[in-house]
Amino acid sequence: MAITDRKLAKGSATPLKPIRLVIGTTATSQTAKKTDAVSVPFDFKVHAVEVNALTVTAGITLDVKIGSTSVLTGRVTPVAATPTAGTLSTTLATTKGASGAVLSCDYTSDGTGAATNAVVTVWVRPRPLNGEL
């Protein structure tokens, strides 16, 4: 019997796949500035979001979206040289995407807010897995 994605337990770490979205070096005074996007080639669920930036100054926040809907309960404020986790929405409709859905990131910065070498890692897994509808 072959092991397929649909036979894996939904709590298993085995099916997790990291998707890196690059923010890079930001500009000041930006509002929801989209920086990177990827089309995910399978039905998926976002499992976790993590933001990392080499340097951070003043006010800057980041968001991750499926289409135009945020997967987070609020924007992430990065901490310099420290991986910072985002808080995922508990609503399944906002954290799942169909095959071909676009996963993207954007940032908002104030008049002095900036980050360098910023990257967002979005951990996704195939959906549905064993026991999911």
The pLDDT tens digits of the residues spanning 32-56 come to 999 999 999 999 999 999 999 999 9
CB atoms within 10 A of CB 89: 16
pTM over 0.95: no
Question: What length is written for the chain?
Answer: 133
User: Residue 128, preceding bond cis, omega within 30 degrees?
Assistant: yes
Q: Is the pLDDT at 69 greater than 80, yes or no? A: yes
Structure tokens at 38: 């990827």
Q: Is the pLDDT at 9 greater than 90, yes or no? A: no
Q: What does the pLDDT read at residue 4?
A: 75
The mean pLDDT of 81-99, rounded to a whole number, is 97
**Comparing C-alpha atoms, which of 48, 21, 26, 30 is closest to residue 125?**
48
**Mean of all residue pLDDT scores within the chain:** 94
CATH architecture group of domain 17-126: Sandwich (2.60)
